[in-house]
Amino acid sequence: MAVVNQYKFAGIDNSTSGAALTPLGASVPSVNETVVIKSILVTSAGTPSVTVLNNSITAIKSAALTANVTTELLTQPLIIEGGKTFTVQSSTSDSFDVAISYLNIKKEVTT
């Protein structure tokens, strides 16, 4: 079994009202993947609160953001296990952007 490490960046420009965003894509990491998130940057046109959910558990519940300022939400890396969901959600309908930098660790079967 080979392990492949891929450093990636994902960003979403969101203008919908309080919708749950899935920065890692519509599909969750597959069971043979582990994602290590190093940075979650958020920018908003207004002052919403941001919630980050890891497998439906609140991992980050931030205070209200300052309008037009980019804020780093993480102080330590966040691990997303394969087959688990990762979402970011805003409390209001303000325009809201999220950008994450992460390491995707894939376990590949080689024959």
pLDDT in tens, 26-76: 666 777 889 999 999 988 888 888 888 888 889 998 877 888 889 999 999
Name the band, by pLDDT with cuts 50, 70 and 90, for residue 102: very high
Instruction: Record the pTM.
Output: 0.83
Q: What angle do CA 26, 12, 53 make, to 5 degrees?
A: 60
Q: Is 54 exposed, middle or buried (0-12, 13-18, 19+ CB in 10 A)?
A: middle
Instruction: Output the average pLDDT for the chain.
Output: 84
